[in-house]
Amino acid sequence: MSKILPKFIKIEPLIALGLSALLLIFAYVLKSTPETLTYTFRNGVIQKHSDHEFFQVIAGLTILLVVLLCFAGSIGCIAVWLRHKQKTAGKAALMWLTTIVCLVLIPVASAVAGGQTDDKSYHPEYYPFSNGQHSIVIEEKSFLLGGFGTVYQVKKNGEAHVIGSFQTDDGGRNNGDYTIQWSDAYADITFHTFTDSGKTDTIRVKLT
């Protein structure tokens, strides 16, 4: 144990950096893989699911492992100093510095990998509509001067599919104020564009 501990203290920063570097490489590989998104409508909210979501779990576990390694190394430095009276403050400082670098690299890897898109900054709101035969949900989002709408068709089991989208100017939101003309195969959705006072536009979405 007396020989293993100093070796661990010496290589701990390399282990932590190696794990973070491997995660970053994996993130770039994953980014090149097409992402598949699926949607469900639950409790009045469209929930988005990505087949890249598992990466966020791996990133979280890597953060935990890096921090645990740092704490273990720090305790090891204290033990070596108490037992052998060797100066280990520099090695401990290096471990903490390395850990900070890793805690920056890992979120970067998460951003590179992508995965489930976080729409919270766009403050999405959802408005369901139905004619008894078909059900749709219109998602409204806005950010700065951009307004965005996405139309989902929702099945009885809650499964949702994107069937259309539109944009508005000046971050304008219709707040659920839509005129919808239904048919067996299509729905014509009229919305305010906010480009000119009172101006509207219409999109046609295919229903299945």
Q: What residues contact residue 47 under an 8 Å CB cut-off, 6+ apart?
A: 39, 40, 41
Residues forming a β-bridge with 146: 143, 169
User: Structure pTM?
Assistant: 0.65
pLDDT of residue 119: 62
Task: Delimit the domains of the chain by residue range.
Answer: 4-35+51-113, 120-206
CB 91 within 8 A of CB 70: no
Question: How far apart (Å, rounded) are the C-alpha atoms in residues 175 and 140?
Answer: 8
pLDDT of residue 121: 65
pLDDT of residue 2: 58
pLDDT of residue 16: 94
pLDDT of residue 6: 80
Question: How far apart (Å, rounded) are the C-alpha atoms in residues 155 and 135?
Answer: 7
In angstroms, the Cα distances linking 106 to 10, 17, 19, 30, 71 are 22, 10, 9, 14, 18
Q: Mean pLDDT of successive 10-residue segments in the chain (208 residues)?
A: 76 93 93 86 89 87 94 88 77 91 92 65 88 94 88 94 93 92 94 82 94
